[in-house]
Structure 1
Amino acid sequence: MRNSINRGRDLNNLISTPFINLYWYKIRELGDEQILKCYTLLNPEEINRADRYLKVEDKVRFIVGRGMLRKIISYYTSIENNDLIFEQNNFGKLYIKDVNLEFNVSHSGDYVVIAASYDNPLGVDIEKNNVCIEVEDIAEEFLTNDEISFLTDISNIAEKRKFYYKYWVRKEAVVKAIGQGLSFPLKDIVIPLDFIIGVFEKISIKKETWYIRDILLEKDYSCSIVARNKTQLRVIKGDI
């Protein structure tokens, strides 16, 4: 990974400081050899899962996401890849037993993103903005009344869709961070409407303080990260 993992094993300075590192990978920039590298890092169960995908793009996103997650965790923890065993909580969130590393993965369209940090529960979500979706038809499923009112007042269709996806990924990142998935009602998550882009904003979830921040990777994508503790965020283009 450029400027990080691939420069030897000098990771102590990289990961012992209170940073959140967010690695991103753009699928279309990867060659067959790089994707094969990721594939060789998977265990037999993950290989079977990858091979069950019907669409090539879904298969590649999974291979890159899981392969690079394994590589990152291995470097962070000094656990050999073959010895890594993923556990899941009751809602499907992955973790490594007896390790204080927090991590989360998301992928959509052309991107895979992986967030990692020590002792700082987190969640990340990315979505490619779908121009075909009628956002008002499904907004009531997860937006609060104030958010729906704000969405309704937006006259420009593109801006309306942009608002929808921004709030979708913000709330998805929240439920991934708290480890409850979609079992936690998205309508119960309140995100400030005067959200400031590029900084961590404080939010309250289940009477606990969390921090949320948007990440700009590309115009047609929405991406957000949520963490229990406010700290510095480093966005890193990952190398394979």
Structure 2
Amino acid sequence: MSSVLTWQDWPTRPTDFYLAPGEVHLWCTSLALPSATVARLAAVLAPDEQQRAAGFLSAESRREFVAARAILRLILSRYLGLGPQELRLRTNPWGKPELEPAPASSRPALTFNLSHSEGLALYALTCERAIGVDLEFLRPLPEDELEQLAARYFAPSEYRTFLNLAHEEKRAAFFRCWTRKEAYVKARGQGLSLSLSAFEVSLTSDSPPRLLASSEDPQAPQRWSLLSLEPSPSYTAALAVEGHIDHVEYLRWNSHEFSPFAT
């Protein structure tokens, strides 16, 4: 499974704001928004999010955080039938954002994850299971730096595979492996307590995205699905979902389609 179109070609609305069992909705958007739009988006943030935004020293990082979190609220609000300011978000003990459980709710629990890099953001949503997404800008790193990073963070078998690749394949393979590993770690929601070298993923261009092995959970490869995609020629991304992925709907958030104050 992979996307063929770039994110600018994805539809701006899903067939329905409903997630069937086994389904994933993947939203993409640019965070390079006009200052006036970012200011309007800031109004939907909770006080703790506004406080966190104020802590960024870089104005660009602050704008990107505000836009990413506000758009998250706008997207979630459409699925839950609530105003974006009404959503109650929290972080788990390792810092992963999640929705507070609704008391006596008959709705399936909505789970999500987000990632943003260099002005682009991805939001992954599903129901009743863990999910993680990672997006990376394909930075032009020298080969020796890629090898040093792979030696430090990859599992031994991944590192050996990486070293055996041709020079022209290494940058794509590095980011392919990195995003798959990060998406899985984010889905697990355990932060840095889960070492990137404790599990193995596929990384060559001719191998499908898979979790191959895990030293801390030998049954994990049978329980998890991975998906790779390229939302733009300059980016690569990966999705990790507990269980089988039956269908992915690729969607584009458009500031003209969604008002910050629509319910």
TM bucket (normalised to shorter chain) is: 0.7 to 0.9
Percent identity for Structure 1 against Structure 2: 24
- Secondary structure at the aligned position of 1:115 is classed as strand
Which residue, 17, 35, 39 being the options, matches 1:36?
39
- More relative contact order, 1 or 2 (CA 8 Å, 6+ apart): 2
Supply the distance in 2 between the matched residues of 1:46 and 1:2 (Cα, whole angstroms). 29
Structure 1: distance between partners of 2:238 and 2:183:
6
Identify the range of structure 1 (159-168 vs 104-113) with the bigger mean alpha-carbon deviation. 159-168
Q: What are the Cα deviations for residues 190-236 of structure 1, in whole angstroms up to 9, with x where unaligned?
A: 11346767x76465552231000001112221200000122211121
Contact 1:203 1:212 in 2 (8 A): no
Q: Which amino acid in 2 is paired with 1:131?
A: P
The reply to whether residue 216 of structure 1 matches residue 226 of structure 2 is: no
Question: Is 1:71 the equivalent of 2:81?
Answer: no
In structure 2, the residue matched to 1:153 is: 164
Alignment of 1:137-176 (within 5 A): 137-156=148-167, 158-176=168-186
CA distance in 2, matches of 1:151, 1:178: 25
Taking structure 2 as the reference length, the TM-score comes to: 0.79
Q: If the length of structure 1 is used for normalisation, what is the TM-score?
A: 0.86
Q: How many residues align?
A: 231
Return the alpha-carbon distance in structure 1 between the equivalents of residues 113 and 178 of structure 2: 17
Distance 1:143 1:202, change over 3 A: closer
Question: Are the aligned partners of 2:138 and 2:234 in contact in 1 as well (CA < 8 Å)?
Answer: yes
Q: Distance in 2 between matches of 1:59 and 1:210?
A: 34
Structure 1: runs of 5+ lacking an equivalent: 6-10
1:118 maps to a residue whose letter is C
Q: CA deviation at 1:161?
A: 1.8
Query: Could you tell me which of 64, 70, 73 is aligned with 1:61?
Result: 64
Structure 2: where are the runs of 5+ without partners?
1-9, 103-108, 256-263
2:260 match:
none
Partner of 1:239: 254
- State the Cα deviation string for residues 157-188 of structure 1 (Å, max 9, x = none): x5312211111111000011111122101111
Q: Structure 1 residues 43 and 49 mapped into 2: Cα distance closer, same or farther (>3 Å)?
A: same
Q: Which residue of 2 aligns with 1:122?
A: 131
Q: Distance in 2 between matches of 1:203 and 1:238?
A: 33
| Alignment partners' CA distance in 1, 2:127 and 2:198 | 28
Q: 1:186–1:39: structure 2 CA closer, same or farther, 3 Å change rule?
A: same
Question: CA-atom RMSD, angstroms?
Answer: 2.3
Verify the 8 A CA contact 2:230 2:237 in the aligned structure 1: yes
